[in-house]
Chains A and B, each alone.
Chain A
Amino acid sequence: MAKAQVQEDQVCQGCGLDCGTGNVVAARKTLTGVETKRVRDAFLELPLESKKMLKLANVSYVERADELLILGDAALDTANIFGREARRPLSAGLISASDLDAMEILGLLIKNVLGVPQVPYEHCYFSVPAAPVDRPGHDVIYHRGVLEKIIKECGYTPTAGNESMAIIFSETAKENFSGIALSFGAGMSNCALAMNTIEGLSFSVSRAGDWIDKGAATSLGSTASRLCSIKERGLDLNAPVGREQEALVFYYRSMVEYVIDQIALQFATIAGKFSIPKPIPIIVSGGTSKAGGFLEFFQGVFDKKRKRFPVEVSEIRAASDPLNAVANGLLVQAMQEEDA
């Protein structure tokens, strides 16, 4: 009994939840390290007649009223088989208030990824993007409200955390939590600038992975899903092969340039009010940054703009775990609650 008691005390409570357009990721501390659970943020609706086929193929599904729902990674695989596109609960990083189906799907995905709380009302820090600067009229208030409700219904105590600030907390401990964190996701790219844990600036832009796919597809007369699969199959941003890869690189460059320019533009609004006494690193993260050679590519684009960049940069580096950096950073914050 004494050993069990010690084990229970050693289990760290608190978890982080990154709810993105592409993936939903939960991170939780275990006795031996950190466990992350990830599921693709996607779903597919099929008629009831497909039940037999899904059972034969051993595909998990949810039966609801007069349709079947396939959730997560299986949705993408099955969509390909049927020649369809899987739907995504989030659009450009945010929940759509008019899409009740999407909210319910998101609730199911989060419930499966989070699991049962270790203790009643366990703390859960969840990611919220910053308000987009290039989509006036779009805010994150409703998005945050829906996620809070879902997490509460799962039995947790939710606390919202900025997506890019989470990367600051997980990746810049040696710089005393100072730096510029960039999260290149599917629906949005998020940015935060912090000095000694204090957030000086945070914003998001709508140029991200989906924007690259759509732009490249339009320029080639192809489809976004085709370009996405080319991108994910293997792409070296510094040595593209063929028209399609060249188009992708073209849009990647445009996205990176745009983000760097926006940092300079947004920084101008706080210049003089927020002091940065020493050079700080830039951390790049997110699924879209997993393209081959992204770090060198980013460095190359940044070097051309470095002279006019308002902040002195010590280095540019990739997050140690680009897909899970946000969830890990939120976990770091949740752990503070449990230790308090």
Chain B
Amino acid sequence: MPLPVNGEVTIICLTDLVELPDLGLRLTRGTKVGVPLSSAMKSRDLSKAKMDGTVSTQTLRASAIRAQEHVSSDTTTSQAPRYNPVAPVDLTPLLEAIRVLTEEVRAMRVELAARPAAVINMDLLVARLREVTPDKVREAPRDEPRVVFQDEPMFIPSGLTGDGLETSLDVAAHSSEAPGLTDAAKALKTVRSARRR
């Protein structure tokens, strides 16, 4: 029995809004519209939309054949992902999995909140590290508290002055009388004081 050829293309909108001006169409998500095959083949907007993946088409030539051919005069094929909004998706297993995970996380939070804060035994840690890498462990002095500035951005690393590293550089020191500098400081103070008045 020959397959019916009814010359119609069904356009299915896959995104929030698609406009096909040369077909006079404005489609919202999930909308299906039938257009004559001849119009669909001439439409450049439809061809572009198919390539962008914003619409899919079904050509009603035979019910066993899925519509994939282009409908424009060019020979490119659509690279859009195949999404069939008609086929129903059973979300029940997914929702159940999410529910189980949520319950687990909730229980873990309760458990963590109940535990006291971990205290690191420094002596034990240093001893263990020395067993593994005896030459590479040097303990920083503990009596110098590390200064943490609460108002500073954390993306700037701390400890950049080499805490625990002993350094003595040969620094070129030079002393001079520099009377001009003292005069400059006094002059600047005078200028600024005058401005404040």
**Which residues from A are CB-within-8-Å of B191?**
176-177, 196-197
B141 within 8 A of A: no
CB-CB < 8 A to A146: which residues of B? 156, 160
Which 7 residue pairs spanning A and B have beta carbons closest together?
Answer: A107-B160, A33-B177, A34-B178, A173-B184, A107-B161, A112-B169, A173-B187
A111 touches B168 (CB 8 A): no
Size band of the interface chain B makes with A: 35 or more
Q: Could you tell me if B189 and A339 are in contact, using CB atoms closer than 8 angstroms?
A: yes
Of the 9-residue stretches A36-44, A222-230, A250-258, which lies at the interface with chain B?
A: A36-44
- Asked if B167 is at the interface (CB within 8 A of a chain A CB), the reply is yes
B194 to chain A, nearest CB (A): 10
**If A34-B181, A170-B181, A177-B191 touch, does A112 touch B175 (CB 8 Å cutoff)?**
no
Interface pair A62/B162, CB less than 8 Å apart: yes
| Residues on A facing B (Cβ under 8 Å) | 29-30, 32-39, 60, 62-66, 71-74, 100, 103-104, 106-113, 142, 145-146, 149-150, 152-154, 169-170, 173, 176-177, 196-197, 320-321, 324, 328, 331-333, 335-336, 339
Contact A150 B181, beta carbon cutoff 8 Å: no
Partner of B173, one of A29, A36, A66: A36
Given contacts A145-B156, A173-B184, A197-B188, contact A60 B178 (CB under 8 A): no
User: Could you write out 29 A-B pairs with CB less than 8 Å apart?
Assistant: A29-B182, A32-B177, A33-B175, A35-B175, A36-B173, A36-B175, A36-B176, A37-B172, A38-B172, A38-B174, A60-B168, A62-B165, A62-B166, A62-B167, A100-B157, A107-B161, A107-B162, A109-B169, A111-B167, A113-B171, A145-B156, A146-B156, A153-B158, A169-B188, A197-B188, A332-B181, A332-B184, A332-B185, A339-B185
Task: Decide if A73 touches B159 in the complex (CB within 8 Å).
Answer: no
Are B174 and A104 in touch, CB under 8 angstroms? no
Task: Return chain B residues, CB-CB under 8 Å to A64.
Answer: 165
Q: How far is the CA of A36 from the CA of B162 in the complex (A)?
A: 23
Instruction: Verify A111–B162 contact, CB threshold 8 A.
Output: yes
Total A-B contacts with CB atoms under 8 angstroms apart: 139
Q: In whole Å, how far is A218's beta carbon from the nearest beta carbon of chain B?
A: 32
Residue of chain A at shortest CB distance from B147: A153
| A38 in contact with B171 (CB, 8 Å) | yes
- Provide the residues of chain A in CB contact with B170, threshold 8 Å: 39, 60, 72-74
A153-B168 Cα distance, complex, nearest whole Å: 18
Q: A153 contacts B188, CB within 8 Å?
A: no
Which residue of B153, B159, B177, B183 contacts A153 across the interface (Cβ within 8 Å)? B159
- Shortest Cβ distance from B137 into chain A, in angstroms? 11
- Which among A34, A110, A146, A324 has the greatest number of chain B C-beta atoms within 10 A? A34
Interface centre among A38, A66, A72, A153 (most CB of B within 10 A): A153
B3-37 interface code vs A (CB 8 A; 1 in, 0 out): 00000000000000000000000000000000000
Task: Tell whether A336 pairs with B160 under 8 Å between CB atoms, given A72-B170, A145-B153.
Answer: no
Q: Is the CB of A153 within 8 A of B192?
A: no
Closest chain B CB from A264 CB (angstroms)? 28
Chain B residues whose C-beta falls within 8 Å of the C-beta of A39 in the assembled complex: 169-172
**Residue of B153, B172, B175 with most chain A CB atoms under a 10 A cut-off:** B172
Interchain CB contact under 8 A, A332 and B188: yes
Chain A positions within 8 Å of B178 at CB level: 33-34, 328
Q: For residue A174, which residue of chain B has the nearest CB?
A: B187
Q: A177 with B188: in contact, given A100-B157, A170-B181, A332-B181 (CB under 8 Å)? A: yes
Say yes or no: B165 contacts A331, CB within 8 Å.
Answer: no
A153 contact set on B, CB distance < 8 A: 147, 158-161
Give Cα A109–Cα B172 distance, bound, in whole angstroms.
12
What separation, in Å, do the CA atoms of A103 and B149 have in the docked complex? 18
